[in-house]
Chains A and B, each alone.
Chain A
Amino acid sequence: MTESAITGVDPDESSGRAHQAEAASFGGVLMKVAGYAAMVAVLLLVAAPLFWIVITSIKERPDIYTQPAQWWPSPPTADGYKAATTDIEFWSYFKNSLIITTILSIAKIVLGVLSAYALSLLRFPGRTIIFVIVIAALMVPNQITVISNYALVSQLGWRNTYQGIIIPLAGVAFGTFLMRNQFLSVPGEIIEAARLDGAGPMKLLWRVVLPMSWPTLIAFSIITVVNEWNEYLWPFLMSDDARTGTLPVGLTQLQNNDGITNWGPVMAATVLAMLPVLIVFLALQRHMIKGLTAGAVKG
């Protein structure tokens, strides 16, 4: 302090100037450290509950609720998995979930792509109005329409059937919205060129527009599959037992209402229910990245 006052040189300033390059690289290291720290923090935030689910699923019952918490099961047990697959008709729920999610996802993706294509690239009167109606549908939470949908489907005699669950859920305002905006972002020159080359509407969609929209389509597909897999309220209202009930409905059978829930089997069933979605995600994720880079190169 006194020295700097005498010499009249600001030591901070001079050292800053002298070591500018090093400071930058130091900043780079710092940024890297901060980046890794943030990554670890996010990983912990996301992975800790997941880790806890997996760990709990292989714990013995008295070990689940203890203080201090037990971070490693000793000894691990498969009882939870056994109970989860035998206490309820797990595989029956699982099969229903697979069937319903598959059909529903395909239906939603096809409807979403086709309707978005029409609303973005075809010209016909009332196009904007239809789009506004679709967006309006997006704004209505499905909890509100549940009662009237129930009345309709129940009168059709579709309770406890796959179509009773699938058809009312097949509406895709979100997909239409997402894909339309994606299609609109495809340069008009390319579409014009394709049309001049004699591409029909389907060819235009399949060979030109869709290949340029893979990342969005894959993202939309993942969101759809995850949503349908986890859908609870509607399948719960529509199905009375394991004939058409989906996994989320079946899982509640493991929870003891008005008493103590044995969390081991609940967590085991949760792990089993997570796996298919995880596989779908991992499989599609690669394509998503491929699509992104392909677009960048062809630009």
Chain B
Amino acid sequence: MSQLSRRGFLGVAGGAALASGLAACAGTGSGSSSSGGGGGSANTIDFWSNHPGKSKAAEQKIIAAFEKANPKLKVKLTDAGKDYEEVAQKFNAALAGGNLPDVVVTSDVTWFNFALNNRLADVGALFQKNGLSTSDYVDGLYADYRYEGKHFAIPYARSTIVFYYNKDVFKKAGLPDRAPTSWDEFTQWAPKLQSAIGNGKHALILDDGANYLDWTFQAINWSYGGAYSKEWTPTFDDPKTLKAATVLQGWAKSKYLKTSADSASDFGAGLGAVLLESTGNLGGFKDLPFELGVGFVPAPGGIKACPTGGAGVAIPSGISAERQNNAAKFVEFLTNAQNTATFTQATGYMPVRKSALKEPSEAAYLQQNPNFNVAVQQLPKTRPQDYARVFVPGGGASIGQALDKIVAGADVAATMKALNGTISSAYNSQVKPKLKS
């Protein structure tokens, strides 16, 4: 009997060991593989993208044109996730385990952490080395990726915020057919908009805190002269920031405001009179049951109150120089004037090149789509985002949570003071030690 048991033992114990061993499998990447970048021929450019704004077809079109112009190079388009955070997650795994991409999409909030940890190459220097120019990029958009005098990404799918409004409701409320010049003016309009749109719907729809309210609220905050931070110093308890937060809470208390996880769809269904959202939604606003109005973000006194957002493309530092050079060539092609025009028309993102506006196809497109033109005209009025949101790890999420609490009725001053502490400690523990002084 025991003999029989032993005979079975080898096979079965093998199964048990395999089962436990693999479930908790803990192999570690050796340092050499991440610096070598794993396999992959230098002539194949691996482009990791989440296809922002449903742009896969546009990307494939640009890649086909690139391969035609550079017969020796091949581009592999990789589905790297459903949003910027997933791309960052996948890239993070690759940094540990090798098989790095040649070009990767990084958003306004994900690039900095990689740059801080020396994981991204200085694209400005790479462009210079390969005889490519960066001077044609819209200055503000290119400057967004600057740190320590180096640039770590090239603007690609860049968006800004615009003021969307439901023209039918505005007409019914007897309001002028334009965006308000300040949020105070909007507050005066709100009761009329509310009674015009009716019960169960709202004068204003914003994202909720888990879905980029921290991004759109920046525009409101800046218009009151506030900011999340000055450089690395958080300024959530600044009187002007508190004022903006109080205004936000006032709208919520008067039931003018609804925050939503899918704000653009809500607005598109006619559930709100005003929406503050990315220009990237413009392409999706088709067959609306009302007439759509697009205006500048309210900015009283000509101040710059419109944050930029969206994503750029970066090149990892851990791949060979040859691969980096090829990647730089591809990045330049991807964002050249003609392809910028192709890409923006397919998606609704901002043209990242100054000369793209002179492309005949783009000029014709802008003429036919005045709403998109509004967004382009607003570009000179944009301003880079506050460090507290984009550079502090988890900053955006913390701000979003605090804003959610304020919308729900929490004490403004106390919430903002606590947020100040959260951001400060995240900065002190995770960023400050790595900053080169």
Contact = CB atoms under 8 A, between A and B. Distances in A.
B12 A259 contact: no
Contact of A155 (B29, B90, B280): B29
Interface in A105-153: 110-112, 114-115, 117-119, 122-124, 130, 133-134, 136-138, 140, 142, 145-153
A88 to B, nearest CB: 9
B313 interface: no
A268 to B, nearest CB: 16
Nearest to A169: B22
A202 to B, nearest CB: 7
Nearest to A66: B269
A141 to B, nearest CB: 10
A257 B84 contact: yes
A217 interface: no
Contacts of A227: none
Nearest to B309: A258
Contacts of B159: 258
A253 B56 CA distance: 9
A176 B281 contact: no
A154 interface: yes
B69 interface: no
Q: How large is the interface on A (under 10, 10 to 19, 20 to 34, 35 or more residues)?
A: 35 or more
Interface in B149-203: 157, 159, 200-201
A172 B23 contact: yes
A67 interface: yes
A112 B21 CA distance: 13
B284 A119 contact: no
A119 B15 CA distance: 10
B7 A259 contact: no
Contact of A123 (B2, B77, B200): B2
B280 A237 contact: no
B131 interface: no
A62 B29 contact: no
A159 B40 CA distance: 12
B19 A172 contact: yes
A159 to B, nearest CB: 6
Given A153-B97, A171-B23, A259 B269 contact: no
Contacts of B271: 65, 67
A124 B5 contact: yes
B86 interface: yes
A41 interface: no
A192 to B, nearest CB: 9
B270 A67 contact: yes
B81 A236 contact: yes
Nearest to A138: B23
B79 A201 contact: no
B22 A171 contact: yes
A241 B287 contact: no
Contact of B285 (A146, A256, A260): A260
A16 B310 CA distance: 73
A135 to B, nearest CB: 9
A10 interface: no
B281 to A, nearest CB: 6
B39 to A, nearest CB: 6
B83 interface: yes
B283 A259 contact: yes
B435 interface: no
Contact of A137 (B20, B81, B94): B20
Please indicate which of the listed interface residues A147, A167, A201, A260 has the most CB atoms of chain B within 10 Å of its own CB. A260
B5 A122 contact: yes
A253 B159 CA distance: 20
Interface of B: 1-2, 4-9, 11-13, 15-30, 33, 38-39, 46, 50-54, 56, 76-84, 86, 89-90, 92-94, 96-99, 157, 159, 200-201, 262, 264-266, 268-271, 278, 280-281, 283-285, 287, 289, 310, 347-348
Given A150-B97, A262-B284, 7 more contacts: A66-B270, A67-B270, A152-B29, A168-B22, A171-B20, A171-B23, A253-B56
Interface of A: 61-62, 65-67, 110-112, 114-115, 117-119, 122-124, 130, 133-134, 136-138, 140, 142, 145-155, 157, 159, 167-168, 170-173, 175-176, 195, 200-202, 236-237, 240-242, 245, 249, 252-253, 255-263
16 contacts: A67-B269, A118-B13, A123-B5, A137-B23, A153-B97, A154-B99, A155-B97, A168-B25, A170-B22, A171-B21, A176-B19, A236-B90, A242-B79, A257-B84, A258-B52, A261-B262
